[in-house]
Amino acid sequence: MFRLDGRIALVTGAGSGIGASIAETFAAAGAVVWVTDRDAARAEAEAERLRSANGGDCALALALDVADDSACQRAAQEVLSRHGRLDLLVNNAGVGHVGRLPDTTPADLQRLWSVNVLGVFQVTRAFLPSMLAQRRGNIINIASIGGIVAVRDRLAYTTTKFAVVGFTKAVALDHARDGIRCNCICPGRVETPFVSAMIAQYPDPAKARAEMESTQAIGRMARPDEIAAAALYLASDAADSVTGSAHIIDGGWTAGK
């Protein structure tokens, strides 16, 4: 079991799904976790759940819209004023869009870009100076298999996730000698509330689910805790020499590509 005792962590989009599972895993491993979400009530509910499970000091809630640069700066000020540092940053918040180029408007792309790319940039930029000052920091970005290979009918999403992978590698290269590690995780299909809601919108949800599951060689979607396990490894001292990497967890989706 990898331990994070005494580490201060912040996870964006942690009110549900992958983000909530990462926050839960980090808290169980001994970290103090800031649970952030655009929905303040959802962030507080998740933080309370973690406090009930792991002890009263393990989680704090913070409303955060990563697309708002001023909000990102205020979040950094609040965390740093309380703890003096941030050890682990997980940029998980993200949104999706179904569509090819003719089905994607500039507004659609801008919406995804503002969260999936600009959000990662802004949150990282807000916390990086403190990490540089302490000469230690660990950044984990949740990208996607759509940042490694193109995904059919996901033009805007694929575009933004390729950018996240590139951002990850650039930060890792620029700051490797500063004690900063930066990696990303590239999941395939994951059984989250977001994905379930998207499937429910299809004319034939059962057919849509079967098709999504069939893209992965193992014949099922991943669980959020499987993604969280990879994040825990990257967050731990066991991965001290790992930086600039994109960790694929896709159930064999890209094995034959």
Supply the residues annotated as catalytic. 157
Structure tokens at 245: 């990497």
Torsion region of 153: left, alpha or beta (phi above 0 gives left; psi -120 to 50 gives alpha): left
Contact between residue 11 and residue 23 where contact means Cβ atoms under 8 Å apart: yes
The Cα–Cα gap between 26 and 231 comes to 9
Structure tokens at 127: 């916390």
Torsion angles phi and psi, residue 5, rounded to 5: -55, 130
Contact between residue 72 and residue 64 where contact means Cβ atoms under 8 Å apart: yes
Three-state secondary-structure class, residue 130: helix
Residues pairing with 161 in the sheet: none
